[in-house]
Chains A and B, each alone.
Chain A
Amino acid sequence: MPAYARVFTSNLSLNLRHNPVAFISLAIFLLLFLLALFAPLIAPYNPFDTTQIDILDSELPPFWAEQSDPSFLFGTDGQGRDMWSIMLYGLRLSLMIGIGAVVVQTLLGVSIGLISGYVGGRLDSLLMRLADIQLSFSTLMVAIVFLAVTQVVGGRAFFAQYAPVLLITIIGLAEWPQYARTVRATVLAEKQKEYVDAARIMGFGPLRIMVRHILPNSLSSIFVISTIQIANAIIAEASLSFLGLGMPIAYPSLGSLISSGFDYLFSGSWWITTLPAALLVVLILVVNLLGDWLRDTIGPRILQGAR
């Protein structure tokens, strides 16, 4: 059976086709993902190119309102940038930071969780207490302190240049315990199973057993938690940007767009803040709905109702 047919007839895809909410969510997510991926090709303007921006075009309303300019589909922001273009680029940044942060979390959390669960004993207690300490600081608090300090120490220019990397690192570092705990719990359950004994009997070393035997059996819970964590990371990035500690307004993510549009809200230019906000809400909603569906479909019982 060829690979695509195997995917198509799998239980997961069957389940997907019979669940309209999940199906629509996946379709919207894929659409948004493709829009973000091909933003430079789709966007009619390059919002980072100052020669394409005219301050006289600022605060033009979207196409359905009066006084709209047909060359700016969703209007313009306070600096005269095309809303549609800048939202595409913002979506691209938000998704990139969200996924990047989750990759950092996965690498850290999965390795720590695997070692903690498999080795056990004192090492396990030590790592899990570290996780507890990390969890007792809220992600936003850690990120605010870290980002504010870098902004002061490194200066605004430095910060603007490395903001995406800094955001990925700090959101990734702050949330590893979520993964470590879930993976550890799964490993503890899998470790009891006889195939692990059988692997030891075949003379396999601990690293091989962890990576080749236990990890693939824990993948379903890692998938489930990853979807939820992507949504959380995007929200964290948006919140930080809204507070002025994330992406600078010159290279805005959805969060900084909402933040910049906030100043114009009461002058009647509501679209500058509401359009990116609506996009963010839709993005988070579909990711969360997908996460819920994955959890109900492939997630092990320990994750039911987990968030």
Chain B
Amino acid sequence: MALLSVQDLSVKFGGEFGAVSAVKNVSFDLHRGERLGIVGESGAGKSITGFALMNLLSAPGFINRGKVLFDGKDIVRMSERQLRKVRGNRMAMIFQDPLVTLNPVLTIGQQMIETLLAHRRLRRDEAEFIAIQKLREVYISSPEMRMSQYPHELSGGMRQRVIIAIALLLDPDLIIADEPTTALDVTTQADILELLLHLCMSNNVSLILITHDLGVVCQLTERIMVMYAGEVVETGKTREVINDPQHPYTQGLISALPQQTLPGHTLKSIKGYMPSLLSMPSGCPFHPRCAYALDECREHRPKLVHYRDASVACHEVNRLHQETLAE
């Protein structure tokens, strides 16, 4: 059985213009130890999906429909008390900016020990021992000293390591990392990603990595899910999707990478902007920016169709696929 099974998840935001859908019909399974990357432009609904998985959306956002089965139990229907047992304990989350994720007025040690004591029956010295051990696991030098330091006394990379250590504190089954390296410089980024990968593999922890950086996804994940305007447009094995993208949007994303352009040439970009949630185009949400758009795309919304290991939501890809099958 999958560790996490998301079925038909939809998130809406109720505003003064009525409720708008931010995430539509997202479904996927994640097995124990598996690593999934969710990619897309800003505003594609990646982070909201991440928050919805923990049932942590704050008003005006709410889960409109669907199930999030974690170890067979539906998180959407859990009471606040049950949720508190799952959060932190079995699922942990890592945020983008390590500067603001740690409480500025508590020492590293206080924050770690508090987290442990909130979930486990431990003595203070036992909790301290575990905390120091976890700091050592994320390669923090002189962890005993760091315990009594405040977040502002640490560098950005070190803070993100501390946050990873806090996330791992209770040996969770799943870590959701929302752009964990965006606020860090490139060399630190590589270190942190390597550390995250190493820790997930050695502890058999599942990882959901939310990012807009395709390079990061390639490095860390086995499967990828591309989102556009709140919908999943393509999923599959990371390597296959990156090497042979099917959906025009995924193709656009990959050809927009700076590595894909020769020196001296203009960077390729996808023309236009992602539609506002308030004024969604009819049919396929990508059709106004799509080079292959047909009449069908303007009228009918494509469904996710499975073939081989991948799923794609595109009329054109489906047609080509049907033709190959017919031959």
Give A residues with C-beta under 8 Å from B.
Answer: 193-195, 197-205, 208, 212-213, 216-217, 219
Contacts and interface: CB of A to CB of B under 8 A. Distances in A.
B84 A197 contact: no
A202 B118 contact: yes
Nearest to B54: A201
A228 B54 CA distance: 43
Contacts of B70: none
Contact of B102 (A198, A204, A208): A198
21 contacts: A195-B101, A195-B102, A195-B103, A197-B95, A198-B93, A198-B101, A198-B102, A199-B103, A200-B87, A201-B56, A201-B88, A201-B93, A202-B115, A203-B87, A203-B88, A204-B88, A208-B118, A216-B106, A217-B103, A217-B105, A219-B105
B166 interface: yes
Interface residues of B, number: 26
B126 interface: no
Interface string B257-301: 000000000000000000000000000000000000000000000
B272 to A, nearest CB: 31
Nearest to A202: B88
Interface string B97-134: 10011111110000000110011000000000000000
A195 B104 contact: yes
A205 B115 CA distance: 12
A200 B95 CA distance: 13
Contacts of B106: 212-213, 216
Interface of B: 54, 56, 83-89, 92-93, 95, 97, 100-106, 114-115, 118-119, 163, 166
A221 to B, nearest CB: 13
Given A194-B95, A194-B97, A201-B56, A213 B118 contact: no
Most buried by B among A197, A208, A216: A197
Contact of B166 (A193, A202, A213, A217): A202
Nearest to B166: A202
A212 B95 CA distance: 21
Most buried by B among A193, A194, A208, A212: A194
Contacts of A198: 93, 95, 101-103, 163
B119 A217 contact: no
Nearest to A217: B105
Contacts of A208: 118
Contacts of B89: 203
B184 to A, nearest CB: 15
A181 to B, nearest CB: 22
B101 to A, nearest CB: 5
A287 B62 CA distance: 49
B102 A203 contact: no
A81 to B, nearest CB: 49
B291 to A, nearest CB: 39
B114 A212 contact: yes
A205 to B, nearest CB: 6
B270 to A, nearest CB: 30
A198 B93 CA distance: 8
B92 to A, nearest CB: 7
Nearest to A208: B118
Nearest to B97: A194
Contact of A200 (B56, B86, B105): B56
A217 B101 CA distance: 13
A217 B166 CA distance: 20
B247 to A, nearest CB: 32
Nearest to A120: B59
B105 A203 contact: no
Most buried by A among B95, B104, B105, B163: B105
